Structure 1
Amino acid sequence: MRDRHDSFYEDLTPLRDFARLADPAQFQPVPQDWVVGVADIVDSTGEIERGRYKTVNMVGAAVIAAMINALEGQQFPFVFGGDGAAFAIPQASASLGRACLATLRRWAQEEFDISLRAAVIPVADIRAAGRDLRVARFAPSDGVDYAMFSGGGLAWAEARMKAGDYTLPLAAPGTQPDLEGLSCRWSNSRAQRGQIVSLVVQPTEHTTEQEFAALAQRLVAISEGLERGGHPVPPGGPPINWPPPGLDIDAHVSRKGGSLALKKLLLLAQNLFIWSLFKTHMRLGSFDPDHYRHMVSSNADFRKFDDGLKMTLDCDQSTLAQIRQVLEDAREKGQARFGMHVQQEAMMTCFVPSAMQDDHVHFVDGASGGYARAAAAMKQQPAHA
């Protein structure tokens, strides 16, 4: 029988109204004896410049997929950040988390020549440093929910990781993570209302939770004025084409050390069959392609609280100007830092435990740098008093 602290996240009630998550009272403190896992790609900006952002997204999402598979159905809070990810797990699973991240570091290096840094940090250390780690659950549909984080703990953990603290070594050469269910077969979704805007907003050291909550509520209210709240993925899901645009990446992810060429051939055949089902709207047993595509859009994680606010919006120029003005005012007052990246398409990375269920997870980001470029733009902004 598991300790009640281990079921902390499962016991939280998911919220359906995203705007309520701007209220700090909706977040609950993560148990003191839990640990936080953080990982991100070294020089993700350089990888983007080399045209590898789909690969960057896939490696970031691999952190979450590997942990979900390793924990075998145990629910835990996680968040996708574009070029990395973070999660919180009970102390009883800490060694599993360390092994999983060490394996991912080795795999990213060998499979994609990408340097992934990672760390596992006790929640107690976060609080000893004067930060907190609180979490809430947001359910965009009946099929899936996503964790939201507040308290500054994740940002502190990421900063310590980048400083070289709590660093995890690489696993032995050839070690393979379990990435079953991770894929990227959808094509990008083009903007329908103007542009795809990736937005990252964080409070400054001097901003109170109430001040940042008011700012976040205002930004969410503006985005809610857009059709479908600015959702960048069409109601019927993203476009699907054959051959799929991410075939090479999918082959690297799923080959498990086997032949890359053979895996590509198998994926081409598999994706041709899937493409035909979607194009003909043909059911296969309990699989309904039209329902599945609808759920892909419904389940999409296009906005989140992650020690700040992140959104990927399909946004018209007028609304974008409103958002920018609110953010510039907040920056001038020293209440927030923000970064924004504008592009023409949104992309999706998926984790699908079973196509027969509605619990498939879909991470949305801008297709030409998204959150990573927005975060880089935020770092370049001059500080204001």
Structure 2
Amino acid sequence: MQDHISHPDFYGSLPLQTGFEELADGSAYRPLPDDWFVGTADLVGSTRLIAEGRYKVVNTVGAAVISAQINAAGGERFPFVFGGDGASFALPSAHQERARDALARVIGWARSEFGIEMRGAIVPLAEIRAAGHDVFVARHRPSPGVDYAMFSGGGVAWAEREMKAGRFRIEAAPEGAWPNLEGLSCRWTPMRARNGTILSLLAIPRPDADPGAVAKVMRDVVALTSGLERGGHPVPAVGPGYEWPPIGLALEAHATRAGGSLLWRKLQLVGETLFAWFLFRTGISVGGFDPKHYVETTSANADFRKFDDGLKMTLDCDAETRERLEAKLRQAAEAGLLSYGLYEQDEAIMTCIVPSVTSDDHVHFVDGAAGGYTTAAMAIKGGTA
């Protein structure tokens, strides 16, 4: 491992890893510089929200944490990870006030727009290391247009636990202090399982487990998915479906109205999405926007698997592979190596951050459509894994 020293573009200088299985062990990861911090947020009562059928709202609010930080960072690249009902990120200390403000605004927006309570925290890396944990990061490049951060070391998970205990808390911004959520959208139709089920999978190492043994299990789990079509990728290669009006139109209006009239923003989006639907149906390119290329890039860019102090995957999975995955995970759990959670549903959904429709750097967060990562995590909390 390198010394924990700062670098003008620490995250951007990290090597890009194209093989996902290579991220199972620590060789691809580097420690965050000493002067960085970790930000994290999640929804309070997400179980109730899911039971009420509001999981797309849950995903949108979780992704808003990342969207606000991207817009506040002024173009600087930084690591972030989407967790379904929340998100985590890391930035240099020079960004701390902007990050605090952006997170506080999202917390206030979630309350005022949706009646949802969010927790948020900013945790200095020095506090994480003093508690005996660390934060290592790698960059996974699933396609030429985008890359996603992978976290290891247990420090992000510790920061989340501290947040839930009430430490390092960020209070909501005053009402009317709107976050900048430009680019946040959720227009694609849910993607039905093509091979049996959409499987949400979490595998979390136990604190005292041997890292080498855990890494082998993680590699084995990823290898088991290699027999699935496109490794279990839930988004079709030709891209997801698009209907009009999109089911996420109202959510996007809440995200992007920035304090303006909700009705007016909905009317604007009706026009924008109708035009987009026409382009997708006809395949006509306009102003540098190629609809066929865009939907194919959307599929390639989708974030359906990650390492985030553990393995998280949203898979289009057949029954045989699901049984083999659970057998492998159960064996590892019985050996004291990890805890796991599984949850099956019929569809996957995507929440997107699109800086520009004419560039290929748009990001797409995938989760199960009926509980996903949040419900899989409940299995771990409930001791059923």
Range into which the TM-score falls when normalised by the shorter chain: over 0.9
C-alpha distance in structure 2 between counterparts of 1:294 and 1:382, whole Å: 38
| 1:189 matched to 2:194 | no
Match of residue 126, structure 1, among 121, 125, 128: 128
Q: How many residues align?
A: 381
Partner of 2:150, secondary structure, is strand
What is aligned with 1:279? 281
* Structure 1 equivalent of residue 258 of structure 2: 256
Between stretches 165-174 and 151-160, larger displacement belongs to: 165-174
User: Could you tell me which residue of structure 2 aligns to residue 66 of structure 1?
Assistant: 68
Deviations 1:225-281 (A, max 9, x none): 111000000011111000101111111111111111221121111101100100011
Query: 2:338 matched to which residue of 1?
Result: 336
Conservation of the 8 A alpha-carbon contact between 1:6 and 1:90: no
Q: What residue is the counterpart of 2:249 in the other structure?
A: 247
SS in structure 1 at match of 2:167 = coil
State the 1:285 CA deviation. 2.5
| In structure 2, distance between residues paired with 1:6 and 1:199 | 36
Q: Is the 8 A contact 1:132 1:151 kept in 2?
A: yes
Paired with 1:164 and 1:350, the residues of 2 have a C-alpha distance of 30
SS in 1 for 2:142: coil
Counterpart residue identity of residue 350, structure 1: C
Superimposed CA distance per residue, residues 33-63 of structure 1 (whole angstroms, 9 cap, x where no aligned partner): 1000000000111111111100000000000
Aligned twin of 1:46:
48
Corresponding letter in the other structure for 2:201? L
Moved over 6 A (4+): none
Residues 102 and 179 in structure 2, CA contact (< 8 A), matched pair in contact too: yes
Listed as ranges, the matches of 1:3-42 within 5 Å are 4-42=6-44
The 5 Å alignment of 1:69-108 reads 69-108=71-110
Partners of 2:135 and 2:47 lie apart in 1 by: 28
Unaligned residue ranges in structure 1 (runs of 5+): none
Cα RMSD (Å): 1.0
Look up the equivalent residue of 1:314 and give its one-letter code.
Answer: D
What residue number does 1:302 align with? Answer: 304
CA distance in 2, matches of 1:328, 1:63: 33
- Corresponding residue of 2:111: 109
The one of 130, 138, 142 aligned to 1:140: 142
Shift of 1:349: 0.3
* Counterpart position of 1:149: 151
Alignment partner, residue 354 of structure 2:
352
1:50-93 Cα shifts (integer Å, max 9, x gaps): 11100000000000011001011100000000000000000111
Q: CA offset at residue 328 of structure 1? A: 0.8
Aligned residue for 2:296, secondary structure, equals helix
Residue identity in the other structure for 1:97? A
Output the amino acid matched with 2:110: A
* Contact 1:36–1:88 (Cα < 8 Å) also in 2: yes
In structure 1, C-alpha distance between the alignment counterparts of 2:10 and 2:252, rounded to whole Å: 34
Contact 2:6 2:34 in 1 (8 A): no
Deviation of 1:5 after TM superposition, in Å, equals: 2.6
Distance 2:26 2:276 in 1: 43
Contact 1:40 1:84 in 2 (8 A): yes
Contact map agreement 2:301 2:363 (CA 8 A) in 1: yes
SS of 2:64's equivalent?
A: helix
- Paired residue secondary structure (1:277): helix
Whether 2:295 is the aligned partner of 1:293: answer yes
